[in-house]
Amino acid sequence: MTADAVVIGAGIVGAACADALSTVGLRVAVVESRVIGGGATAAGMGHIVVMDDSEAQFALTHYSQQLWRTLSPEMPAELEWDPSGTLWVAADEEEMQAVAHKHAYYVARGVNVEVLDAAQLADAEPNLRRGLHGALLIPGDSVVYAPCAAAWLLARAQLRRASLLADRVISIGRHSVHLTTGDRIESPNIILASGAWARELLPAIPVRPRKGHLAITARYPGFLRRQLVELGYLKSAHGHDTESVAFNLQPRTTGQLLIGSSRQYDVTHTSIDAPFLARMLRRAIHFMPALEHLRVIRAWTGFRAATPDSLPLIGPAPGREGLWLATGHEGLGITTSLATGRLIADAIAGRTPAIPPEPYLPARFPQ
């Protein structure tokens, strides 16, 4: 079998690549060994969020968020698109200063933001504990249910002749991939979008699995309006501590609450670490004592694909002609999937990308 491009993995990133590649006229084959959107994509919160901890991260998240917003009118209901916005919560005066900085940063880049003082925050989210200092409101952030988003993006690509193969890639050759069935797909372009599994096919890739826990509650409509994230989250997400937790709470359109977040390196088993989950939940209760009495119906874990500099790997694999990388999205891959697809498609089609692609090129790491 032949294709213009082969995408390995049908997570949100692979699905977005297939969508974008089929849009520029390529005949795409997607290979998925498990369930569409069943990897990290099924574990993540689906927060579509702009981030500012580096210029490159801002550019990618902001661009991607615009792409999501453009698609939103066409989305079927099961994608649970919810433009609920984010509140970055400041626990003390120091964090309130960070709010002011972020405010200035976003305003300078044309992002609509608003500073809430303590009273306005209490008014906006009455279930937060008293004594918090305020928050930065980003009304343009939103939430999507990523497994169905991946399936939808793939279905769009299939309408443009993309094919989906339920199989596992066992090795990547020169302009070909080999499947468990013994079949081979010949293609000038191979896109590795297998998330935290990327090392299985490319052992040298600078990607480390970083485990996260989440818990979901029964339905409590009206309990929470916006996604709440403590400012300390940035330390947790971008620090390199072996273990960290942060308060991150999301309202679902079902009325459920998704409680995060946690990060652990060097853990490979998928089971729940109950003491660590407990630590994450205590952090949530610390910010929102009213959570105590709500019922959790399930907890689960997932693996983020982390890179040394917290930016994804998007672009040609150094020294491997025809191989493209689209992984390493850590905790932002649902947000940045659409931009990733576009950057890959633009590069393959020889088009000028909407944002500079250099910060994400895999060649930035020594091989």
Partner 1 sequence: MPANFEVVIVGAGPAGLAAASAAVERSRRVLLIDDNPAPGGQIWRGEGRQPPRGVETWLETQVLGPLRPGLLMADRAGVPAQISYEKLILATGARERFLPFPGWTLPSVMGAGGLQALVKGGLAIEGKRVVVAGTGPLLLAVAAYLAKRNARILLVAEQAPRQRVLRFTANLWRQPAKLAQAFSMGRYLALKYRTGLWPVSAHGNGKLEEILLSNSRRLACDYLSCGFGLVPNSELAALLGCRIATGEVLVDEFQRTTRERIWCAGEPTGIGGAELSIIEGRIAGYAATGDRHSATSLFTARMRASRFPREMDSAFSLRPELRRLVHPGTIICRCEDVRFSQLTSHTTWRAMKLHTRCGMGPCQGRVCGPAVEFLLGCAPEGARPPLYPATVSQLALDRQ
Ligand X SMILES: Cc1cc2nc3c(=O)[nH]c(=O)nc-3n(C[C@H](O)[C@H](O)[C@H](O)COP(=O)(O)OP(=O)(O)OC[C@H]3O[C@@H](n4cnc5c(N)ncnc54)[C@H](O)[C@@H]3O)c2cc1C
Binding residues (CB under 6 A) for ligand X: these are: 8-14, 31-34, 38-47, 145-146, 168-169, 193-197, 200-201, 212, 214, 216, 256, 258, 260, 270, 297-298, 300-304, 327, 329, 331-335
Contact segment (CB under 8 A) with partner 1 among 52-60, 211-219, 235-243, 325-333 equals: 211-219
**77 Cβ neighbours under 8 A, 6+ residues apart:** none
Q: Does 159 bind partner 1 (CB under 8 A)?
A: no
Angle between helix 333-349 and helix 12-23 axes, rounded to 10 deg: 30
Nearest to 23 by CA among 80, 75, 73, 71: 71
- Residue ranges with strand state E in 99-149: 114-117, 134-138, 142-143
Of 11, 111, 114, 104, the C-alpha closest to 63 is 111
> Which one, 133 or 264, has the nearer CB to ligand X?
264
All residues at 6 or more sequence positions from 366 whose CB lies less than 8 Å from its CB, including other chains = none
Q: Are 166 and 34 in contact (CB under 8 A)?
A: no
Asked if 151 is part of the footprint of partner 1 (rule: CB under 8 A), the reply reads: yes
Binds 296: which of ligand X, partner 1, none (CB < 5-8 Å by kind): partner 1
CA distance 117 to 99: 10
Q: Which does 357 bind (CB under 5 to 8 A by kind): partner 1, ligand X, none?
A: none
For partner 1, how many residues bind (rule: CB under 8 A)? 35
Which of the residues 32 through 91 are near partner 1 (CB under 8 A)?
A: 34-38, 42, 78
Q: How near is the Cβ of 159 to ligand X at its closest, in Å?
A: 20
Decide: is 363 part of the binding site for partner 1 (CB under 8 A).
no
Alpha-carbon gap, residue 323 to 327, rounded angstroms = 13
Nearer to ligand X, 118 or 216 (CB): 216
Query: Which of ligand X, partner 1, none does 151 bind, CB closer than 5 to 8 A by kind?
Result: partner 1
Which of 239, 292, 283, 226 lies closest to 260, judged by CA?
A: 283
Contact residues for partner 1 (CB under 8 A)?
A: 34-38, 42, 78, 147-148, 151, 215, 217-218, 259, 271-272, 274-275, 277-279, 281-282, 284-285, 291-300
